[in-house]
Structure 1
Amino acid sequence: MANWLFRKSDSASVTGVPRRARAGATFAAELTFDNVVKTYGERNALDHFSLVVAPGEVVCLLGPSGCGKTTLLRVTAGIERPTGGRILINDLEVAGSQRFMQPEDRGVGLMFQDFALFPHLTIVENVAFGLKALPREDARREALAILSRVGLERYADQYPHILSGGQQQRIALARAIVPRPAVMLMDEPFSGLDVQLRDAMQQETLALIRETRATSVIVTHHPEEAMRLGDRIVVMRAGKLVQTGRAEDLYQRPAELFVARLFSEINEIEARVDAGRIVTPFGVVAAPGLDNGASAILCIRERGVGLVSAPSNGGYGSATGLMGRVRDAKFLGDAVRYEVGVQGFDQPLNVRTAAGLQIGKGSEVRLHIDPEQVLIFPSNGVKTS
C-alpha cells in the first residue's frame, strides 16, 4: 500500500537508485492567537482563545466535534473574521479590530477535510491553482515537481474522479504545499481513509511538512493521531483551550478529568477525601489540594492494573493483591479487556492486559494496582492546583 513512498520517479539519480524529490523549503513563521473570539449568534465558537505556535512547530488541535477546532482554522486562513481578539503571523496582525488581510495575502495553506478538488480541472491544474502569480509554464513545472514528490506525476493530465481516496488526499496535500506557505492548516486530513492507508499518509504528510518547514496546525479528534503527529497537543472544549503540552505531559499529568478520558481508558470511582488522602481497598492515595470531606473521583487506568490467576499470584503478595472474579472477557486483538468484580469495590473494574494472557470468565484472579496509574480529580473534574 505504501510502495508509492519510495517509487522511482523521472528525477531518479543517474546511478539508478530511486530517490524521492524533496519539497522546497519555506520560511517558518510564528503564529499567535491573542484572546480570539468568534461568535455565531449568542454562541461563542471561540471563547478568548490564546496560543503561540513556534516557527516550524507542528501543533495538533484535539477535542470533540463542535469545540471550535475548525473555526480556529477558518479565522486563521481568513475565510471568516474573528469577532474579537487578534491573529498574528510573525508579529504582523492579519486579523483583528484594526486589520483584516485577505486569505491570498497571508501565506497560509489550508487543506480541507473533504479535499475539495475541482472536478473540471486536471490534476496538475488542481495542484497549480494556488500559483496564479507565476507564468503558466512555471506554475506547471512547480506543480509537476510536487506531484513527483507525492508519487502521482503520471496522473498529471487526468481528472480527480479517477483517483482513490488516498490519492485524492495526496493531491490535496500537494496543492496546499506547493505555494510554500509559511503556515499550513489541515482540517482532519485523514478522517476519510482506511486504517492502513491512514498510517502511511500520516507518516508521509509529517515528512513533507518537516521538509517544507511550514508552521503547521492539524485538527483531529483522535488522541493517538495527535500523539503521532504533534510536537505539541492543544486540547479544546467549548471554544476554550483546556490544556496544552507534549503527549507525555497530557497523558501523565492531565489537568482535567476530560483530558484524562481522552488519553487513556480509565475506571472512575467516587470517593471522599479524608485529611488530604483517599483510603482505597489497595491502599492510601494522596489527594493534594482537596479539602477534607470533599467529594473526589478516583481514576484507575485500565492498563495500570496487573491481573493473574489466583492460584499463582505472579509475585504479588497477599498484602498488595486484591481478590477478584472475572465477569467478562473481550478479545481486542493485541489486548484483552476484562471486567472484574473486585473485593472492596462497589463496582467492577475494567482491566486491559496483553493478548497473551488468557483467563476465562468466572476465574478467580488477583489484582495489583500500580499507584503511578492512579489519578485524583475533584468531583467537578477540574484540578485547582
Structure 2
Amino acid sequence: MAKWFFGKSSKADAGVLPGARMARAGATVAAKLTFDAVTKAYGERPAVDGLSLEIAPGEVVCLLGPSGCGKTTLLRLAVGVERPSGGRILINDREVAGAGRFVQPEDRGVGLMFQDFALFPHLTILENVAFGLRALPREDARREALLILSRVGLERYAEQYPHILSGGQQQRVALARAIVPRPAVMLMDEPFSGLDVQLRDAMQEETLALIRETRATSMIVTHHPEEAMRLGDRIAVMRAGRLVQTGSAEELYRRPAALFVARLFSEINEMEMQVAGGRIATPIGALPAPGLADGTLATLCIRERGISVVPAGGNGKAAHGAPLKGRVRNAKFLGDAVRYEVVAEGFDAPLNVRVAAGEAILKGSEVLLEIDPGQALVFPSHDDKTP
C-alpha cells in the first residue's frame, strides 16, 4: 500500500474560524447506474435475485430493507468487489459487469463509503483523504485534499491521525475521502449506523448537502425507513434479494404494494377478515379487497396514527361517519406522543392508537374512536408477514 508523505501546512493548523465560509466541493459529471436482471448467488440461495433498477444521473436512491436482504451485496456488485452470477451492471449504458465483461473497481468512477469508515490508522487525516488521488502530482493531491477537508470543517486536523477524532469527525473524513476523486457514482453502506441519534441527524443533512454539491449519482444502503425518507429522491425496498417496490417516500407510505412495505413505514394494527363479494366487512364499513377470491382471508391494516381518540361525551363531530365506542386499557407516554391500547366495539383485539401528547386520557376511560376508511389498507393474508 503506497503511503503519502506531505510537508506540514500552516493552513492545516489554522482550522476553520467561526463564521468562516466553507469551500464548496467540486462538481462531477453524474452517471446513470443500471442493474439489469442482476443475480448473485452464494451456493444455492441467491443473495440478489434477478434485480433490475435504474438510477438517473444525479439521483439519490436509498436501498432499504432488513439485514440479510441483499442490500450490501448489490452495493458490492456495483463497485466491483463482487462479480454477478447473472445479469448486467451498466454505468452510463457502458457495461461494467456481465457475462463477457468485468471492469475493475478503480476503472469504474465509483466512490465507496464503508459502514465502519475504514480509515487507515497509520496515515494522517490528510493522507487518508488524498489516498484516492494517487494518480495526481503530490502537490495537486494535497491541495484537493485540503480543500475538501475545509469543506467538511476538519482542515485543522490535517496532520493528525484518525484515533483523535470523534465518530462524527471520522465519518466526515471518510465522506471527504470518498468524494474527493469526484466519482460519477457514490455508494454508501449504512454510513450513519455507528452514530448516536442527534449526531446522525446532523450528519445526514451535511452528507446530503455535499452530495447535492457534487451532483454525484448516489445509492445509500440503510435499514432505517426514516433515514431513507429523509435522504432519498426515491426509495427502493428490498426483501430476500428482490425489489418489492420503488418510489418516493410519499408513494411508499400512502400506497404500499405489500404488507411488508406498509409495516416498514408505519406502525399498524393488523386484523384478518374473510372476503365476500370482493369486499371485507369491517367495523368501519365494507372495504374493497381487489384481486382476492371470495372465502379467502384478507388482512386489514389501520395505522396507529390514523385513529383519533377523544373522551366519551365530547361535543365534537366525526368527520368520517359515526365514531366507535371504546375503553382505554393502557396508556404509554412516549415524549411527543402517547400510545393508547383501546378495546373498541366491533374489533376482536384491542387497537393501538398513537396521538400527539396532550391532555392525558386515563386508563379505564370511556372514549370515542374515529377511523377514516380511506386510510385503511387491505392485503392478501397469504402475504408473508415476517420481515
TM-score computed with the length of structure 1 as normaliser: 0.94
Give the aligned partner of residue 348 of structure 2.
Answer: 346
* Mapping 1:109-124, distance limit 5 Å: 109-124=111-126
Q: Give the whole-Å Cα distance in 2 for the aligned partners of 1:197 and 1:319.
A: 45
Structure 1 residue 10: deviation in Å?
7.1
Higher mean C-alpha deviation, range 109-118 or range 367-376 = 367-376
Residue 194 of structure 2 is aligned to residue 213 of structure 1:
no
Structure 1 residue 358: deviation in Å?
1.0
User: Secondary structure of 1:250's match?
Assistant: helix
Contact 2:285 2:373 in 1 (8 A): no
2:50 pairs with 34, 48, 51, which one?
48
Q: Give the whole-Å Cα distance in 2 for the aligned partners of 1:317 and 1:370.
A: 8
Runs of 4+ in 1 over 3 A off after TM superposition: 9-12
1:230-276 Cα deviation digits (max 9, x unpaired): 00000000100110000111011100000000011100001011112
Structure 1 residue 314: deviation in Å?
2.6
2:184 pairs with 161, 182, 185, which one?
182
| Structure 2 CA distance for partners of 1:108 and 1:319, relative to 1, 3 Å | closer
Residue 226 of structure 2 is aligned to residue 224 of structure 1:
yes
Q: Give the whole-Å Cα distance in 1 for the aligned partners of 2:175 and 2:142.
A: 16
* Mapping 1:75-154, distance limit 5 Å: 75-154=77-156
User: Secondary structure of 1:65's match?
Assistant: coil
Contact 1:11 1:21 in 2 (8 A): no
1:161 pairs with 151, 163, 185, which one?
163
Residue 310 of structure 2 is aligned to residue 308 of structure 1:
yes
Tell me, which stretches of 5 or more residues in structure 1 are unaligned? 1-8
Structure 1 residue 284: deviation in Å?
1.6
Give the aligned partner of residue 330 of structure 1.
Answer: 332
Q: Give the whole-Å Cα distance in 2 for the aligned partners of 1:379 and 1:357.
A: 37
User: Secondary structure of 1:273's match?
Assistant: strand
Contact 1:37 1:83 in 2 (8 A): yes
Letter of the structure 2 residue corresponding to residue 362 of structure 1: G
Give the aligned partner of residue 273 of structure 2.
Answer: 271
Contact 1:313 1:366 in 2 (8 A): no
User: Secondary structure of 2:200's match?
Assistant: helix
1:368 pairs with 357, 367, 370, which one?
370
Letter of the structure 2 residue corresponding to residue 351 of structure 1: V
Tell me, which stretches of 5 or more residues in structure 2 are unaligned? 1-13
| Structure 2 CA distance for partners of 1:172 and 1:282, relative to 1, 3 Å | same
Letter of the structure 2 residue corresponding to residue 20 of structure 1: M
1:201-223 Cα deviation digits (max 9, x unpaired): 00010000000000000000000
Contact 2:33 2:57 in 1 (8 A): yes
Give the aligned partner of residue 246 of structure 1.
Answer: 248
Contact 1:183 1:214 in 2 (8 A): yes
Q: Give the whole-Å Cα distance in 1 for the aligned partners of 2:194 and 2:106.
A: 27
Letter of the structure 2 residue corresponding to residue 179 of structure 1: P
| Structure 2 CA distance for partners of 1:319 and 1:215, relative to 1, 3 Å | closer
Letter of the structure 2 residue corresponding to residue 88 of structure 1: L
Contact 2:63 2:219 in 1 (8 A): yes
| Structure 2 CA distance for partners of 1:313 and 1:188, relative to 1, 3 Å | farther
Structure 1 residue 370: deviation in Å?
1.1
Give the aligned partner of residue 7 of structure 2.
Answer: none
Q: Give the whole-Å Cα distance in 1 for the aligned partners of 2:103 and 2:26.
A: 25
Q: Give the whole-Å Cα distance in 1 for the aligned partners of 2:322 and 2:256.
A: 27
Give the aligned partner of residue 5 of structure 1.
Answer: none
Q: Give the whole-Å Cα distance in 2 for the aligned partners of 1:296 and 1:313.
A: 35
1:306-335 Cα deviation digits (max 9, x unpaired): 100012153238961111110111111111
1:102-141 Cα deviation digits (max 9, x unpaired): 1100000000000000000000000000001001111011
User: Secondary structure of 1:307's match?
Assistant: strand
Letter of the structure 1 residue corresponding to residue 29 of structure 2: F
Give the aligned partner of residue 71 of structure 1.
Answer: 73
| Structure 2 CA distance for partners of 1:25 and 1:165, relative to 1, 3 Å | same
Q: Give the whole-Å Cα distance in 1 for the aligned partners of 2:343 and 2:134.
A: 66
TM-score computed with the length of structure 2 as normaliser: 0.93
